[in-house]
Structure 1
Amino acid sequence: MKYLLASMLSVTVASFLISPSKADDWGCEVLLCAAASNPSWHDVPACHPPMEKLISAMKRPGFSWPTCPEGGAGKPGYEKYAECPAGWTPTTGDDGRGQGFSREQSQCARKVTTCKGGRSSYGFSSRGRTETTADGITRVFSRNNACAFTEFRQRPRRSDPYYFDIKDDATDRSNRFWFNLQK
């Protein structure tokens, strides 16, 4: 199945490359290649010229993303970070240690209470004590309570951070196609 999809995509993209080009053909080539998922555009030889042209163009001042009105897609979306693991919530880059603040939700956080029977433990008096576990999770303890803390960890990054939402006219639903621009 993946080879059938790859050959169909190759033929479609090749027809764009062979036929006389219009200004918006490049945008449609980019859309077709970016939407290729199994295999990705990296494994479709006909996709290399339009995608490499895109990557080069993005480095120039005044870059404007090529669009494909026929495909119902304009500029793609971009989400640098993947979802946090189950039970964790995205949060900004401040982990409570005063290491700077970022509006970007680059951390995942969760509140943890290890108190038994609803009793609090006041084993120390240093407010805002932090510790980091061997797996990189930072614990920020609540006030003087040694058994209630918030854990922070780096939010996972997406390997394919760009996406196009393409509407399926038959179902009236949009499908999201993720891709990357790494050569």
Structure 2
Amino acid sequence: MKRSAALLVAFGLGFAPGVGIGARAQDASFGCKVLLCAAAAPSWQGIPYCVPVMQALFRHLAKGGGWPSCPEGNASGLGYEPYQACPAGLTSVQSPTDGGADFMPAPNGSLCADLSKPQQICSGGDGGCTTSYPTTPRDPRSEPYYVDISTANGSQRFYFSLRGY
């Protein structure tokens, strides 16, 4: 029954005003297919049509290709966020490279620091003190790549991984 209802809806849409006769998802450009699948709720993985489309996308990106374009879609370029967000009140920072204690705010920094709690660290009798902050390591994302897709309800961020492609 579900299959026949789906076929009836698909058939009916083919003759709806403003919809071209014979227009099908298969006829869309690769970039538009990707956007349709990426924006699917709850996930493209549960839609058989989308699985090969998204696997082809991930293989393309893993080989250094760019995010495919869809003239009708409103999507950002490819982004990368290797870590989960820091808890409220903490700032993402990059660990000092010179062994010092100067933490620099960095969106993709590997640490979360509480910049409201400076700590003076002094070594030896030469008066050389540096300021440090309590830090915790950031949790890595299992799906660090993303693209923002604009919809009628606002913008939605789609995260994914290229591991295994």
What TM bracket, shorter-length normalisation?
Answer: 0.5 to 0.7
CA–CA distance in 1 between the matches of 2:34 and 2:140?
23
Number of residue pairs aligned between Structure 1 and Structure 2? 134
Residue segments in structure 2 that go unaligned for 5+ positions in a row: 1-5, 11-23
| Secondary structure of 2:114 counterpart | strand
Query: Could you say which residue in structure 1 is the equivalent of 2:49?
Result: 46
Contact 1:82 1:157 in 2 (8 A): yes
User: Could you tell me whether the CA contact under 8 Å between 1:67 and 1:74 is conserved in 2?
Assistant: no
Q: 1:77, 1:126 → 2: CA distance?
A: 40
1:150 corresponds to: 133
Say whether the 8 Å CA contact 1:68–1:74 is kept in structure 2. no
Q: Secondary structure of the equivalent of 1:71?
A: coil
Tell me if structure 1 keeps the 8 A contact 2:75–2:148: yes
Q: Identity of paired residues, percent? A: 32
Q: Which residue in the other structure is 2:150 paired with?
A: 166
Could you tell me how far apart the structure 2 residues matched to 1:37 and 1:151 are? 39
Matched residue SS, 1:91: strand
TM-score, normalising length: structure 2: 0.61
**Equivalent in the alignment of 1:180:** 160
**Which aligned pairs between 1:69-108 and structure 2 lie closer than 5 A?**
69-94=71-96, 97=99, 104-108=108-112
Q: CA deviation at 1:109?
A: 0.7
Helix, strand or coil for the counterpart of 1:179?
strand
The whole-number CA distance in structure 2 between the counterparts of 1:71 and 1:113 is 46
Inter-partner Cα distance in structure 1 for 2:41 and 2:147: 11
Query: Taking structure 1 as reference, are residues 66 and 86 closer, same or farther at Cα in structure 2, changes over 3 Å only?
Result: same
The 3 A distance-change label for structure 1 pair 35 and 78 is farther
Matched AA of 2:123: R
Of 123, 128, 142 in structure 2, the residue corresponding to residue 127 of structure 1 is: 123
For residue 28 of structure 1, the aligned residue among 32, 35, 43 is 32
Cα distance, 1:177 vs structure 2: 2.5
Deviations 1:20-66 (A, max 9, x none): x5xxx11011111112241x2222221111111111222335x2321
Give the conservation status (yes or no) of the 8 Å contact 1:95–1:152. Answer: no
Change (3 A) 1:165 1:16: closer
Alpha-carbon RMSD across the aligned residues, in angstroms, is: 3.8
